[in-house]
Amino acid sequence: MSIKRVAIKESKQLILALTSGRIPLSVPKEMNISMTQNIKSIIRILPLLILLPFTFSYAEEVQSENKTVSEQLSTNPLILSTEPAPPEAVSPISKPSDLELVSVEDISDRAYLNKVMEMIQGAKESIDISMYVSNPKVREKHPVGNLFQALVERAANGVSVRIWFNSALSRDERLERTKYASFWNDLEQKGVKIQWVSSERLLHDKLVVIDREYVVEGSTNWTYSALLKNHESATLIRSKKLANKKIERLEALPLEKREELGPLQTTFVDLPVELFTHEAYLPKVANEEDREAWDLYFYLVKLRTVQGSGPWDFGVSQLREALSWSPGKSEKKDRAAVSKVLRRLEKDYRLVSFEWIKKKNEVSISLLEPGQVKSKKSKTKPSILGSQPWKETLRIPLAFYEYGYQKKWSLPAQFAYCISLISESESQNKSFWFFSMYQLQDRFHVNKQFLRQGFTQLKRDNAIEFVFPKKAAGETKLSSRQLISYQNNILRSEEENETEILKVRNRYASMTPEEWNRARSYAEIFDDPYDPLLIRQFVGLMKKYPESTLEPLIMKVAQFAPDNSLRSPEFIKQNLERK
C-alpha cells in the first residue's frame, strides 16, 4: 500500500478514535515498513499530533452535547409534518424557553386560493393582511371579490380584519388605486380596517395572518392573474410566535397620513343640475361669455349657503367691492352698471329678481327657481331658490370660493369644474367619470373647444386628472390609448399645494436648486406645476438622461393636445429608451 494511502487511512482512524473517545494502542500492520517511509508518514501526520490537545477538548464537548440532545429527544420528540403540533414539543435548536413546534404546508399556485378562503372563513379572532397590490372586482364569482366578501362576512361576525396596502405607486397604479376608492370606503364602512403604508418605502408584502397563529407568505398578490394564472409560490406556516412577530412588524410600519377634509371641503354650495343642463340658464351665460353676470350669480348662491335664503339688500359700492369690479366715475354710473348686470340675470337668464329700494341707493335681490319668472302683474312673490327640493343637485365645495378659484379661474374653467362635479356625482364609480367631449357638448350646450380650454386650466391647478388606460403587457406604442376618464381632486390653497411640493423636494434633497427648478419648470410646461407625482417623474428622467437630449423632447411633447395620451413623461421615456 502506498505511503499516501497509509497516511490518509491512519489519519481517518486517528480522528475517529479521538472523536469517539478511544485511542488505538497498537500500530497497524500497514505501518510495518521501512524507516524512511515511517519518517515520511510521521511528517505527514505531524499536524494532527500538534492538534491532539484541542481535539480531545472538542470531542468531550461533542459527547456532552450529544448526550443533552438525546435526553431532550427522548422526552420531547421533534416531529415536522403538516399535522397540528403538540404545544409541549421542544426544538433542540432554540433555547428551552423559546421552543415551539411548527407545521408547514406548501400551498403554491392553484392551491393558494382555496386554502386561504378556507382559513378566512374559519377565522375566529383576527385576520391581518399585508398586500403589495390588489385589484378587486365586485362582480360575482371573481376570485378577488370573493376573498374580500369573505373578509366582510367575518368582520360582520366580530372578527378583527385589518389590511395594510402599499402606497408607493406609479401614476398608473395611483389612478388604479383611486379607481377602487369607493370599494375601499365600502369595506371600511362594513368593518374592515384599511391602512396605507407610507410611500417613503415600497411595501412588497404578500402576507396573510389568521388568528395570530397561521401565516401565509409567498409571491401571491390578490389579483386575478396571481390567483388563477401565474406560477406563484406560497407557504402556510402554523406558528404563534412567527405570527405575532409578523403582526408586530405590521403595526410598527409608518402609515400614509390621511388627508383630513376641513370645513371648506365638507361645506357645500348647492345648485340644481337643471341650471346647467337647460340651455336657457347657465349655458347661455357661458356661451355669451357674460362673466359679470356669472360672478354675481355665484356670489349670491354662496350667500344663500352662508347667510340663508334671501332676499338680500346691497349697497352699490358693497356689490362692486364684493365682486372686485372696478369702480365707475360716479355713484350714478356705478348704479347703472349694476342695474345692467341684474337686468340680464333677470330677463335674459331668468336667474334672479331684483328691486331698487326707494330713497336708498340699495337693491334687493332674490334667487329664482328654474322655470319661474317674476311677473309684475302678479302679487305672488317668486319662490326663492332653495325653498323646494331638486331632483339632482350640484354640490360645490366652499373651498372653491375661499381659496379664490371663483375669481382666479376663467369662465370656461368654472363651467368645466361644475359639470365635472355633476358627472362625478352621477358616476357609479364615484371616483372617476367619463363622457366624450361630444356628449358633454350635447348635454351642457357649450362647444367642445370651450370645454377643452376649461379642463386644461383645471388640470394646471391640479383640480382634475386626465386618466388613460394602463399600458397592456407587450404594448410598445401609447398612441392608441384614448382618454378614458377624469378624476376630480380635492381643492387646495396655493399654500397647501406648495406644502405638497415641498415634501417631494425633501425627498430629493441631494438635487441642486438649479436641477429642482428645472424639474418644476418641466411640470409647468405640461400645465401641471402642482402635481407632485409628475415632478417626481421628471426628476427620474433628469437623473437618467442629459439635458441636451431630454429638454428638446419635452418641449416637443408639450405641444400635443392636453387630452392626448402621448403628452406624458411615459411617452418621453419610451422615446428616449428607443434611441
Mean pLDDT of 178-192: 76
C-alpha atoms less than 13 angstroms from C-alpha of 370 in its C-beta half-sphere:
17
- Confidence at residue 499, expressed as pLDDT on a 0 to 100 scale: 85
Please report which residue ranges of 21-110 form alpha helices under DSSP H: 35-50, 52-75
Mean pLDDT of 524-543: 85
Instruction: Fill in the amino acid letter for 450.
Output: F
Q: Work out whether the CA dihedral 39, 43, 45, 46 comes out positive or negative.
A: positive
Q: Is the pLDDT of residue 75 over 90?
A: no
Q: What is the pLDDT of residues 384-436, one digit of tens each?
A: 444 445 678 899 999 999 999 999 999 999 999 999 999 988 876 556 788 88
Instruction: Fill in the amino acid letter for 546.
Output: P
Instruction: Report the SS3 class of residue 289.
Output: coil
Q: Is the pLDDT of residue 12 over 60?
A: no
φ and ψ of 215, to 5 deg: -120, 125
Q: Does domain 107-252 have CATH number 3.30.870.10?
A: yes
Helix axes 291-307, 331-343, angle to 10 degrees: 90
- Confidence at residue 183, expressed as pLDDT on a 0 to 100 scale: 77
- Confidence at residue 265, expressed as pLDDT on a 0 to 100 scale: 80
Please list the residues that pair with 465 across neighbouring strands.
487
- Confidence at residue 393, expressed as pLDDT on a 0 to 100 scale: 86
> Which range has highest mean pLDDT (283-297, 316-330, 469-483)?
283-297
φ and ψ of 339, to 5 deg: -60, -40
Q: Is the pLDDT of residue 37 over 70?
A: no
Q: What is the pLDDT of residues 299-337, one digit of tens each?
A: 999 998 888 887 999 998 888 888 888 877 788 888 888
Measured CA to CA, the distance from residue 351 to residue 282 in angstroms comes to: 9
Among candidate residues 242, 240, 223, the one with its CA nearest the CA of residue 232: 223
Measured CA to CA, the distance from residue 13 to residue 26 in angstroms comes to: 12
β pairing state of 192-196 and 160-165: parallel
Measured CA to CA, the distance from residue 345 to residue 353 in angstroms comes to: 8
Measured CA to CA, the distance from residue 557 to residue 318 in angstroms comes to: 47
Instruction: Fill in the amino acid letter for 328.
Output: G
Enumerate residues 6+ apart whose C-beta is below 8 A from 548: none
Task: Specify the DSSP class assigned to residue 98.
Answer: G
Measured CA to CA, the distance from residue 125 to residue 160 in angstroms comes to: 6
CA angle 380–385–389, rounded 5-degree value: 105
CA angle 349–351–354, rounded 5-degree value: 110
- Confidence at residue 428, expressed as pLDDT on a 0 to 100 scale: 61
Chain position carrying cell 386650466: 457
Measured CA to CA, the distance from residue 256 to residue 259 in angstroms comes to: 9
Enumerate residues 6+ apart whose C-beta is below 8 A from 247: 128, 209, 212
Please report which residue ranges of 170-279 form alpha helices under DSSP H: 171-179, 181-189, 224-228, 240-252, 263-266, 274-277
Answer with the residue of higher pLDDT: 163 or 9: 163
Please list the residues that pair with 432 across neighbouring strands.
487
Chain position carrying cell 359639470: 419
Q: What is the pLDDT of residues 112-161, one digit of tens each?
A: 999 999 999 999 999 999 998 887 765 567 888 899 999 999 999 999 99
Rounded to the nearest angstrom, the gap between the alpha carbon of residue 401 and the centroid of all alpha carbons in its chain is: 28
Chain position carrying cell 332676499: 311
Measured CA to CA, the distance from residue 174 to residue 487 in angstroms comes to: 12
Structure confidence at residue 38 as a pLDDT band (50, 70, 90)? low
**Do 523 and 535 contact (CB within 8 A), yes or no?**
yes
Enumerate residues 6+ apart whose C-beta is below 8 A from 515: 542
Measured CA to CA, the distance from residue 440 to residue 417 in angstroms comes to: 12
Measured CA to CA, the distance from residue 48 to residue 207 in angstroms comes to: 52
Among candidate residues 251, 252, 288, 563, the one with its CA nearest the CA of residue 412: 288
Chain position carrying cell 370599494: 183
Chain position carrying cell 418621453: 572
Measured CA to CA, the distance from residue 14 to residue 25 in angstroms comes to: 11
Structure confidence at residue 383 as a pLDDT band (50, 70, 90)? very low
Answer with the residue of higher pLDDT: 471 or 484: 484
Structure confidence at residue 61 as a pLDDT band (50, 70, 90)? low
- Confidence at residue 186, expressed as pLDDT on a 0 to 100 scale: 80
- Confidence at residue 48, expressed as pLDDT on a 0 to 100 scale: 54
Chain position carrying cell 429642482: 516
- Compute CA distances 207 → 128, 162, 165, whole Å: 8, 12, 11
pTM of the model: 0.60
Measured CA to CA, the distance from residue 101 to residue 89 in angstroms comes to: 6
Among candidate residues 424, 455, 426, 465, the one with its CA nearest the CA of residue 174: 465
Question: Per-domain residue ranges for the chain?
Answer: 3-72, 107-252, 272-393, 411-578
Measured CA to CA, the distance from residue 358 to residue 374 in angstroms comes to: 19
Measured CA to CA, the distance from residue 455 to residue 412 in angstroms comes to: 8
- Confidence at residue 323, expressed as pLDDT on a 0 to 100 scale: 83
